[in-house]
Structure 1
Amino acid sequence: MLPGSIQITGEALSGAEIKDICDSLKENSVRLLSVRGCQLSDRDFGRVCRGVAESHSLAQLNLNLGVVSTIGRTKQLADALKANRSLQTLFLHGSPLLDAGLVTLNGALSTHPSLVSLDLGDCMLGDEAVRLICGMLPPDGAKSGLKELTLSANPAVSTQGWARLAIAVAHSSQLRVLNLDYNPLGDSFHVILHALSVMPSLFLCGQVFLDMVENYPTSLRVLVLAENDISPELQQQISDLLSEGEEEEDKDGEAHGLPTQPSQWNSSSSQMVLMTSGLGESFLAETEM
């Protein structure tokens, strides 16, 4: 029997329901587990984490909307992720992690061999968290590096923090989708960028991302910047440059006799800069794998 899915939203989970979930995880009969917005005791959360640690089939885990509500639960999740080797997508949107939570999760997230999609939107993150996330982007040995990242609605990150992220994306990442909607990235915010820690250069925050896609090789094809007060002219420039990058990839592939049909991570139809989406219209939609 092929692994299936368990999807529960906004319910108070009983001990019997938790037992069924844990048994399914341990039997490797679950590919997608979603308990978004659910209420469960600390003891039961620990049981689920142990099931995640033992599962070899789990590919997507959705703990959105406050399920990971304490530093204790964050530590339990980190331990589970250190043992797990199958997880590809992790949703933690709306979890009050703060920078301390990312510090706790960092070791597990940055070394996980299969994780390619991560949602940390509305997690009350700051610059220290962004610094750690930058380290998750490049491939390194056994891990492939992130291909999809959501950092929507984390307004505590400073313009310096976003500049750090832009540089990391430009230089060493495999990132294809980046969601930054509902953050104060507007054109009017000045950022100091230090090139190799010497001569500082002054940019506007929207221009940081324009500079990234214009001057550095990047895999980025979807950049979500909705509700950031970035001028339409700058939006269009970024979009045009991403389009040019996609066209060059297609030409290179044809020149080397490589297939050009869209794949999961490389599709010309997905290349875009999204500026005006509403809440919930995320490219990391909560769908079955």
Structure 2
Amino acid sequence: MLPGSIQISGETLSSAEIKDICESLRENSVRLLSLRGCQLSDRDFGRVCRGVCESHSLAQLNLNLGVVSNINRVKQLAEALKSNRSIQSLFLHGSPLTDAGLALLNPALSLHPSLVSLDLGDSMLGDEGINLICGLLPPDGAKTGLKELTLSANPAVTSKGWARLAIAVAHSSQLRVLNLDYNPLGDHIAGMLAVAVASSRTLEVLDLEGTGLTNQSAQVLLDMVENYPTALRTLILAENNISTELQQQISDLLSEGEEEEDSEARDGEAREKNTWISQNGMGGGDSYAQFKPRVDS
């Protein structure tokens, strides 16, 4: 039987329900476990963590909205992550981690062999926490790092912390999605992020919704998109003091770039098909090469 999912939101969980969840984890019948906003005792949280330790099938763990509610739970989760080898996505949005809690989690996050997506939005992080996160974005040539990072709504981070993150993003060899929405970044940090995007060969999505930007930073981002080839496909600028015209110009340029990439990819597939036929000596209409249809992400 293929692993399935357990998704529960905003419920108070009994010990019997936790027992069932833990048995499913140990039996490797769960690929996605979401306990978003759920209430459970400290003892039962520890039981879930032990189940995570033993699971080889769990790929996504969602503990958003305060499930990791105290430092003891942070320690238990860290121990679970040290033993687990399968989790690819970890969501802790809305957890009161603080920098101290992230420091406890960081060794397990740094050494986890499969983790590629991390959500630490609204987790009361500051500059020390951002410094730790930069270590999860290794430079080119280093070990595999995060591909998706969410740091929404962490207003205690200062311009120094965001500048440090921008440098890490510029040199990250893996990061594809960066969500920084609802942080008071302002135009100065947005300018640094434009440089990071121009330097990155992988970043495809940047969310800057509600980050205190104006036409000044939008113009810098427009110039970046217009004049420098980047991997960027989506730039979210809603709820900023930016003119509709500038937002539309940026959106149009990104759409044009995506259409060009799609056209080049189709041309490449056609050349590949022709080469395949030629190399196998198949001319005429009685033979053909079959290719899987292209699926856009």
TM-score range, shorter chain: 0.7 to 0.9
Quote how far apart the aligned CAs of 1:210 are: 1.6
Distance 1:22 1:212, change over 3 A: same
Matches of 2:36 and 2:143, distance apart in 1 = 27
Q: Decide whether the 8 Å contact of 1:113 with 1:142 is kept in 2.
A: no
2:19 & 2:139 partners in 1: Cα distance?
36
Tell which structure's C-alpha radius of gyration is larger.
Answer: 2
| Residue matched to 1:219 | 202
State the distance in 2 between where 1:20 and 1:140 align: 43
Partner Cα separation in structure 2 for residue 181 and residue 130 of structure 1: 15
Are residues 1:93 and 2:93 paired? yes
1:110 maps to which residue? 110
What's the offset of the Cα at 1:218? 3.6
Range 74-83 or range 220-229, more displaced: 220-229
Shift of 1:239: 5.8
What do the CA deviations read for 1:164-213 (whole angstroms, capped 9, x no partner)? 000001013411000000001012xxxxxxxxxxxxxxxx2221112222
- In the alignment, which residue of structure 2 is the partner of 1:58? 58
Any stretches of 5+ residues in structure 2 without a counterpart? 241-297
- 1:137 maps onto 2:120 in alignment: no
Corresponding residue for 1:231?
A: 214
- 2:191 counterpart of 1:207: yes
Q: Distance in 1 between matches of 2:45 and 2:86?
A: 19
Kept in 1, the 8 Å contact 2:89–2:118? The answer is: yes
Q: Distance in 1 between matches of 2:239 and 2:47?
A: 37
After superposition, what is the alpha-carbon deviation per residue over 1:29-82, rounded to whole angstroms, capped at 9, x for unaligned?
Answer: 000000010000000000000000110000000000000000000000000000
**Partners of 2:57 and 2:142 in 1: how far apart?**
19
- How do 1:1-16 and structure 2 match up within 5 A? 1-16=1-16
Deviation at 1:272, TM superposition (A): 1.3
After TM superposition, the score normalised by the length of structure 1 is 0.78
Once the two structures are overlaid, the 10-residue window that deviates more, 74-83 or 141-150, is 141-150
Distance 1:218 1:2, change over 3 A: same
Match of 2:235 in 1: 273
1:100-179 superposed matches below 5 A: 100-138=100-138, 144-179=144-179
Query: Hey, what's the Cα distance between the residues in 2 that align with 1:141 and 1:51?
Result: 34
Quick one: distance in 2 between partners of 1:139 and 1:54? 32
Determine the C-alpha separation between the residues in 1 that align with 2:107 and 2:170: 23
Higher mean C-alpha deviation, range 168-177 or range 137-146? 137-146
**What fraction of aligned residue pairs are identical, expressed as a percent?**
69
Q: Is the 8 A contact 2:11 2:37 kept in 1?
A: yes
Give the conservation status (yes or no) of the 8 Å contact 1:120–1:152: yes
Separation (CA, whole Å) in 2 of partners of 1:115 and 1:277: 31
Read off the aligned partner of 1:209 and give its amino acid letter: L
* SS of 1:85 mapped into structure 2: coil
C-alpha distance in 1 between matches for 2:151 and 2:52: 24
User: What amino acid does structure 1 have at the position aligned with 2:234?
Assistant: M
The offset of 1:234, in angstroms, is 2.5
Q: How much has 1:245 moved relative to structure 2? A: 3.4
1:136 match: secondary structure: coil
Q: What is the aligned partner in structure 1 of residue 73 from structure 2? A: 73
RMSD over aligned Cα, in angstroms?
2.1
172-181 or 24-33: bigger deviation: 172-181
Aligned-partner residue type, residue 203 of structure 2: L
1:91 counterpart letter in structure 2: F
- CA distance, structure 2, for counterparts of residue 272 and residue 133 of structure 1: 23
User: How many angstroms apart in 2 are the aligned matches of 1:97 and 1:125?
Assistant: 7
Tell me: CA distance 1:239–1:79, structure 2 relative to 1, closer, same or farther (3 Å). farther
Q: How many residue pairs get matched?
A: 239
Q: How does 1:222-261 map to 2 (within 5 A)?
A: 222-235=205-218, 237-238=220-221, 241=224, 244-246=228-230
Which residue matches 2:255? none
